[in-house]
Amino acid sequence: MDMKKCNIVQDLLPSYIDEICSGDSREFVQEHLSLCKECREIYINMKSGEDIEDDLVMERIESKKPFQKVSVFFQEQKKLTRSVFVSALIFLLIGILLLGNSIMIMNENKKELHELSVVKSERNMIMEDVFHTLHSSSNAEEYESEIQDIFNQYDDKLQYLAVFKTDDLQEWLANSSEVKEEPTNIYPVDYRKAEVVFGSEGIISNKAEIIPGEYDLGNVVLADDNWIVQFEYKESYERTIERYHQLTYYGPSTLTIYWPPILFISIFSILFIIWLWLRKHNDRLKDVMG
């Protein structure tokens, strides 16, 4: 006996008796009645007007309703569990893709910053070489020749290199004391006050014709007790200087680069925990339903 078919046929019997069911349903009921004694007896009793079996059928239907509700809830719970699992996988996949992209961006920034770090090392090297020459030379003619050689090494980057005497700029130094600590970006000192100014063509005799650049990072000054050295970058090199400055002081931090994958992987972790809880809850519900 197939209880599932019996239940379906017993539900259809009223419509079958009243001849209001579809042709397919009618054929299904007739075929089943020819094979099932119990359903045939119920049909005969219903046909003869006895309500005892009707009450039995209704009782069966009513007894199944709570389990039907639980079954519907269980099915919806399973759908929710699958949705949470699929969503977790999507967030994990996106997080992995974003992580790969963040690693690539981080490596590119490190590589570019490493390549641009030559800006700082060359700036310090120029100052060290010039001050060493000034302190070791016995006369102006000697240091002028050596400083011109230093300038020529960086001719593709430097526009001017000027040397001043500290005694001539005491008032300026009082307001710009930071230039004594390290090479500093500052508005150029008036070239007319320089002892000597070097350019690509050699020593510039007419210092009054020199027009300082307006780029705020294009000029570097360093001073000690005796000398002030100033050099100015060429306009063609300013883009490199600006890029180095932006990456060093305003470049994206590690957290800024990695926060998108961190966010998506964190959401994946939360959804995965929820999925595990729902799965455990479904297993318990399944055991209760048998």
Both structure tokens of 24: 């397919």
Per-residue pLDDT reduced to its tens digit, 69-128 = 656 777 888 899 999 999 999 999 999 999 999 999 999 988 988 888 889 999 999 999
Tell me: pLDDT of 62 over 60.
no
**CA torsion sign, 204 to 130 to 152 to 231?**
negative
Higher local confidence (pLDDT), 196 or 63: 196
Tell me: pLDDT of 175 over 50.
yes
* Residue that the structure tokens 């959804």 belong to: 271
**CA torsion sign, 88 to 92 to 95 to 101?**
negative
Q: What is the pTM of this model?
A: 0.59
Per-residue pLDDT band for 13 (boundaries 50, 70, 90) equals confident
Per-residue pLDDT reduced to its tens digit, 226-281 = 999 999 999 999 999 999 998 888 888 899 999 999 999 999 999 999 999 998 88
Per-residue pLDDT band for 158 (boundaries 50, 70, 90) equals very high
